[in-house]
Amino acid sequence: MAPPRILVAGTADTKGAELGYLAERIAAAGGRPVILDVGTRAPSIPVGIAASEVLENATGELRQRADSGDRGTAVAAMAEILAAYLPGATAFDGIIGIGGGGGTSIVTAGMRALPLGMPKLMVSTMAAGDVSKYVDISDIVMMPAITDLAGLNRISRGVLDRAARAIVAMTAGTASATSPRSAIGLTMFGVTTPCVTAIAEQLSAEVEPVIFHATGIGGRTMEALIDAGMLTGVIDITTTEIADHLVGGVLSAGPDRLGAIARRGVPWLGSLGALDMVNFQAPDKVPASFAGRKFYRHNPNVTLMRTTAEECTRIGFWIAEKLNASTGPVVLLIPEKGVSALDIEGGAFHDPEADAALFAALESGLKTNANRHILRLPMHINDPAFADAAIAAWRRLAAREQA
């Protein structure tokens, strides 16, 4: 077997010594390194892929920004250019990058454009803080550089050596990603766990359940995998991210939630899990505009707010409009006795009026036909009978798709 070909990405004008050392250690660990320069000035070491090659297919406007001489403008442009270049680059088995603020921004933009499963390791001075803007919904591994990447020393050599061995190990081979079962996305929140767990357990012999935490990133990741053809259907029990998107919570999956369902036409079985709540951080982080609302303190860092009847109406029509655009089979399950563990008789968020507004908007807005159905169930979302009904509905959908 040929040694894995590994791109070693960074700004070779300012990080030449570190890139060269990292490439040496990758070779010593059994890899075949190729240095990829993403700098905007002449490199200080020989490189395998020059920045000029990366820039070749850039549009005139982007090229001008990359050559502008303004560091911020050049970094932003190079990030965009690398993201366009890498997916079509000569075959490689993995990528490792090094960088400070600018280099990390450039290299991770390129990494995010690569498919899930491609090994990606970023050694960065930014890895100790909030890395969400670098990782987003990708599978980039962030490794703290410990020291600044401004010359080799006993600390940085150790970090880079460990990083080299890590990326070689990551590219050496992976467990098979294939399965005779179809991969089905499921969405879950703490307040819908009993339902989703029961569905996953009972269907696991028929499908491969892939569960996503409905925290914004989870929904976006699931939709990206649908677009990539890696999920063939969805049991979307927990659609709470839509409430955050429309009302202003912190766990929004953005305006494209349910978009991949429509684009790909995959079978969708969904419900209204946790649409009774909008998520915020600690109580003092809740916007002042929501003063006087009904809140539930989930933990010191998570504050939940009950959605009103007016908000539920808006949410219902929004979901209906999204589902109306789908060409695939759609079944929406309405749990009449509550949509979360808090929305139950005697619970903190029990509000039959708000729930009724949600249900009415969905029934009014969804254009039912032979391919699109609503099923009302006189149950709570976490009742075992609701999970059983969802499983039966999914099996009917699956049988129809296979017919």
The count of C-alpha atoms lying within 13 angstroms of the C-alpha of 222, restricted to the half-sphere facing its C-beta, is: 34
Contacts of 80 (CB under 8 A, 6+ apart): 62, 109
Neighbours of 196 (CB within 10 A): 26
Tell me the Cα Rg of the chain: 24
Which tokens go with 108? 């991770």
Instruction: Encode the chain (403 residues) as per-residue pLDDT tens digits.
Output: 789 999 999 999 999 999 999 999 999 999 999 999 998 788 999 999 999 999 887 888 888 888 777 788 888 889 999 999 999 887 899 999 999 999 999 999 999 999 988 999 999 999 988 899 999 999 999 999 999 998 999 999 999 999 999 999 999 865 555 567 899 999 999 999 999 999 999 999 999 999 999 999 999 999 999 998 999 999 999 999 999 999 999 999 999 999 999 999 999 999 999 999 999 999 999 999 999 999 999 999 999 999 999 999 999 999 999 999 999 999 999 999 999 999 999 999 999 999 999 999 999 999 999 999 999 999 999 999 999 999 999 999 988 777 6
Amino acid letter for position 275: L
Least Cα distance to 355 among 365, 366, 364, 344 occurs for 344
pLDDT of residue 60: 81
Q: Over the stretch 317-367, which tens digit does the pLDDT of each residue have?
A: 999 999 999 999 999 999 999 999 999 999 999 999 999 999 999 999 999
* CA distances from residue 261 to 15, 98, 242, 323 in whole angstroms, order as listed: 43, 37, 14, 8
Least Cα distance to 324 among 366, 272, 373 occurs for 366
Q: Over the stretch 174-198, which tens digit does the pLDDT of each residue have?
A: 555 556 789 999 999 999 999 999 9
370 CB burial (10 A radius; 0-12, 13-18, 19+):
exposed
Cβ pair 246, 315 in contact under 8 A: yes
pLDDT of residue 203: 96
pLDDT of residue 179: 64
Which tokens go with 14? 């300012």
Question: Phi, psi (5° rounding) for residue 304?
Answer: -105, 140
pLDDT of residue 174: 56
Sheet holding 302-306, edge to edge: 277-280, 302-306, 295-299
The count of residues in the chain is: 403
Contacts of 69 (CB under 8 A, 6+ apart): none
Task: Work out whether strand 295-299 and strand 302-306 pair parallel, antiparallel, or are unpaired.
Answer: antiparallel
| 25 DSSP assignment | H
This prediction has a pTM of: 0.84
69 CB burial (10 A radius; 0-12, 13-18, 19+):
exposed
Sheet holding 182-188, edge to edge: 207-213, 182-188, 233-236, 268-270, 330-335, 372-377
Cβ pair 322, 259 in contact under 8 A: yes
- Residue bearing tokens 């703290």: 144
Which tokens go with 200? 């996953």
Domains of the chain listed by start with CATH number: 5-171 (3.40.50.12020), 182-402 (3.40.50.12030)
Sheet holding 5-10, edge to edge: 32-37, 5-10, 94-99, 120-124, 141-144
